Amino acid sequence: MKKTTIHDIARELNITFSTVAKALNDHPRIAAATKEAVREMAIKLNYQQNKLASSLRSGRTGIVGVLVPTLDVSFFSSVVHGIETVMNENGYNILLYQSKEIYEDEIRGVDTFLQTRVEGIISSVALSTKNYDHFIDLKKRKIPLLMFDRTVDEIGVPYVRIDDYGGGFMATEHLIKQGCKRIVHISTDQQVEIFKERLRGYKEALLKYGLPIDESLIFYGNLSIELGKNCIKKLVDEKVDFDGVFAFEDYTGLGALKELKDLKINVPEQVKVIAFANEAFGAHITPSMSTVDQQTVKMGEEAARLFLKLIKENKYYENAPEQIILDPILIQRESSQ
């Protein structure tokens, strides 16, 4: 069956295409009787108004793009739920795109969203991204952009994240209070603000409790279970003394736990472990893993609320970018006490 177009309605009613279009868009210059006739004919001919074409005219699609590294980890999927809830309540729909931590895919994501005319983008940067022009460009083009969690100062847009410095401090202080004196920190590339902050919190906690900062206990690598395993292997191979591990995120922490288990080093008796992010698996593994919770759902909700507030004010980039910083929450489980 051929799709009914606006031209078919015009032909049937013997009026112009433009009159039909105006009538369908409730234009004030069109008589009520004409509007009625057009609407009836539209129903009769089973005409489906092209919402996209209308949105092109109105400039409003009601769609917000959410561009995240991955939805495989509960941190991101749970933030997305928070965003979704608030957006849906406010009549917006969200579409998702995964960058898979790949810079080129992040750019494709931005392009795809622009193509679908989203009203703005909420994002967290991919770990492999070192150039932020695709984000800065959105700002130049006045397309609302809000970042969450993995923010980059250089982009200079509103953002929501937790106090990662406080979280790093809290995790390290917890291990110190449990008796640890030689605490390893496994971290990653320092370009992303939050990881730098967690490391800073780790160092400040050591200083506060009079413990030395030993660079041989600090590791940098790519977020993965393997990273955690390899760090433990290296420490044990090189006979480095340690009694605590603070991993910058849970998958790396899981790797550390697994390797300690394989090497028959008892957790928490010989080595205590804490990580960061409160991924869903942490409560189910043995020993269950201590971590720092990032209030993910709240982070998503706050991100959506701030975004909506700013687009409503219609001067998204006019003031200094607003920031919302949430409190980290210490989750104590078997691996650290």
| Cis amide prior to 144 (ω within 30 degrees) | no
Give the integer Cα–Cα distance in Å for 163 and 291.
15
Q: Which of 312, 325, 326 is nearest to 144 (CA)?
A: 312
Give the integer Cα–Cα distance in Å for 116 and 192.
29
Residue 139 · residue 317 · CB < 8 Å: yes
Work out which of 23, 30, 61, 253 binds a copy of itself, going by CB under 8 A: 61
Binding to a copy of itself, residues 18-57 (CB under 8 A): 48, 51-53, 55-56
Work out which of 175, 194, 254, 267 binds a copy of itself, going by CB under 8 A: 254
Site string for a copy of itself, 134-153 (x = CB under 8 A): ------xx------------
What would the two tokens of residue 229 be? 């395993």
Q: Applying CB under 8 A, does 72 fall inside the site for a copy of itself?
A: yes
Residue 264 · residue 250 · CB < 8 Å: no
Work out which of 78, 129, 295, 296 binds a copy of itself, going by CB under 8 A: 78
Only one of the segments 19-27, 64-72, 187-195, 325-333 lies at the binding site for a copy of itself (rule: CB under 8 A); that segment is 64-72
What would the two tokens of residue 271 be? 């080595």
Only one of the segments 12-20, 114-122, 207-215, 227-235 lies at the binding site for a copy of itself (rule: CB under 8 A); that segment is 114-122
Handedness of CA 106, 157, 299, 312 (dihedral sign): negative
Give the integer Cα–Cα distance in Å for 67 and 109.
7
Only one of the segments 13-21, 109-117, 262-270, 310-318 lies at the binding site for a copy of itself (rule: CB under 8 A); that segment is 109-117
Positions that interact with a copy of itself (CB under 8 A): 1, 3, 48, 51-53, 55-56, 61, 63, 70-72, 74, 77-78, 80-81, 84, 88, 93-98, 100, 105, 108-109, 111-112, 114-117, 140-141, 254, 280-281, 284-286
